[in-house]
Amino acid sequence: MNLNELPAEFPADEQAKARIIQLTAEQINKDFGSQVVDLEKEHLELEHLLDGVRMYLQTFPWRNSEKLAQQLYRVDLKERIIREVIKNPNISEGLEDLTNEIVRREVLKILMRSYFSSSKPIE
């Protein structure tokens, strides 16, 4: 995943991007109930989010994992996406797809929260 694959609403301004990525990292950690993304990094990049989620997902059995399903429910991915990804016979490719979908969904949560909040949107 790269910034071109993120929603059109993703800001172009570097400072706003950094804030969105920081908030997304916090949301990922909150949804997974774990320190998935290291928030102590000086400058978080999209790749840090992807790496953290990817490594976290690798701790679960890939198929028929109730705990993984619970985690994905908390992220609020569409069931169709989860089924498609888990059915992929190439586990490595499926893991990459799932990682990308999780980060994309978490970014959308932050953007929607910003858009609909009564306070000033992220700029």
pLDDT tens across 22-58, in order?
A: 999 999 999 998 888 888 877 788 899 999 999 999 8
| Model confidence pLDDT, tens digit, residues 82-110 | 888 778 888 888 889 899 999 999 999 99
In a domain, 82, yes or no: yes
In a domain, 7, yes or no: no
In a domain, 23, yes or no: yes
Higher pLDDT among residues 121 and 81, named by residue: 81
Instruction: Supply angle C-alpha 97, 51, 92, rounded to 5.
Output: 40
Q: Residue 60 sits in which domain range? A: 14-35+42-116
What's residue 99's pLDDT? 93
Number of domains in the chain: 1
| Model confidence pLDDT, tens digit, residues 12-25 | 678 888 889 999 99
Rg (CA), the chain: 14
Among 118, 117, 103, 122, smallest CA distance to 32 is for 103
In a domain, 77, yes or no: yes
In a domain, 3, yes or no: no
Tell me if residue 111 falls in helix, strand or coil: helix
